[in-house]
Amino acid sequence: MRLAPRFQVAAVSHVGRRQNNEDFHRVLRLEVPPGDLLLLAVADGMGGMEAGEWASKVAIEALSQAARAYAEHLKGGRSAVGLPRVMEKAFTLAQRRVEGEAERLGKRGMGTTLTALLYADWLKEGVVGHIGDSRAYRFGPQGLSRLTEDHSWVAERVREGVLTPTEAERHPYRNVLTRALGLPEARFDLLPVRLLPGEGVLLVTDGLYGLLPEEEWLLGKDLQGSLEALVAEALRRGGDDNITAVALRVE
């Protein structure tokens, strides 16, 4: 007998003041023995409106394909593979797909950020995969903490002590990425996570944190309502970029 899900998921995306939404996201729940396998992902495309929009979609579709393949692997009764290995294969597939589409379309510079969580609810464990400047946060009773590091020119200068965080926010190179899917030799980070009841993971694109500092974020019992409130506030403050947020909380 399958137990009722012991988690809550939410997602919201808004085009902002842009003509196209180059963000793409996915919340995918796959029923497998002995529980639920969940994939949450956000991607922020680059390379121009059509190219960016397509790159982010291609990356997340590849990620979803890999998650579904692993679910079928488990349903077939075969032995489990570590979640970091599954995510590594998924990101590698996404990189190949984005590179292939850029070549097919003749879109040099086409690429995307990609930040995702693959979570096995029966283990209460997951893994975050990350490249670019979208972000993953852990949240819960102890507050909010960032899990990922931005792969951007200004973030690297902050880590070196050359820029302060405030200077980075205003710097003309603040949108320049040093790592992204589609760029040559893309390197991504893998971060294992274990969640206790009341804890969760939040994934966002820079359209949210660029306008609404994380110190002001509130994630209440109504997770969907909380995300919608955050996006609405970012829109009120200008909304000059696409804004996307997805979240999972363990009950």
Residue 108 is predicted with a pLDDT of 81
Dump the DSSP string for 44-106: EEESSHHHHHHHHHHHHHHHHHHHHHHHHHHHTTPPP--HHHHHHHHHHHHHHHHHHHHHHHT
Residue 151 is predicted with a pLDDT of 96
pLDDT at 95 over 70: yes
Residue 112 is predicted with a pLDDT of 97
Residue 5 is predicted with a pLDDT of 63
The helix or strand, by DSSP H or E, that contains position 114, with its residue range, turns out to be: strand 114-120
Helices (H), the chain: 49-75, 83-105, 153-160, 165-170, 206-209, 223-236
Query: What does the angle CA 133 – CA 136 – CA 142 come to, to the nearest 5 degrees?
Result: 140
pLDDT digits (tens, 9 = 90+) for 40-59: 999 999 977 678 999 999 99
Q: How many domains does the chain have?
A: 1
With respect to residue 2, please indicate whether it lies within any of the assigned structural domains.
Answer: no
Q: Which region among 29-43, 68-82, 112-126, 220-234 has the lowest average model confidence (pLDDT)? A: 68-82
With respect to residue 1, please indicate whether it lies within any of the assigned structural domains.
Answer: no
Task: Check residues 117 and 75 and name the one with the higher pLDDT.
Answer: 117
Could you list the residue range(s) of the whole structural domain that residue 51 is in?
7-250
CATH number at residue 169: 3.60.40.10
Which of 108, 147, 129, 136 lies closest to 59, judged by CA?
129
With respect to residue 47, please indicate whether it lies within any of the assigned structural domains.
Answer: yes
pLDDT digits (tens, 9 = 90+) for 2-14: 555 689 999 999 9
- The model's pTM is 0.94
Average pLDDT over residues 235-250: 96
Backbone angles phi, psi at 125, to 5 degrees: -130, 155
Residue 170 is predicted with a pLDDT of 84
pLDDT at 32 over 80: yes
pLDDT digits (tens, 9 = 90+) for 53-81: 999 999 999 999 999 999 999 998 777 78
pLDDT at 1 over 50: no
With respect to residue 21, please indicate whether it lies within any of the assigned structural domains.
Answer: yes
Q: What value does the mean pLDDT of the chain take?
A: 93
With respect to residue 135, please indicate whether it lies within any of the assigned structural domains.
Answer: yes
Give whole-number Cα distances, 34 to 14, 22, 66, 84, 87, in Å: 35, 36, 19, 19, 20
Calpha distance 34→122 (Å, rounded): 7
Strand, helix or coil at 115? strand
Average pLDDT over residues 111-140: 97
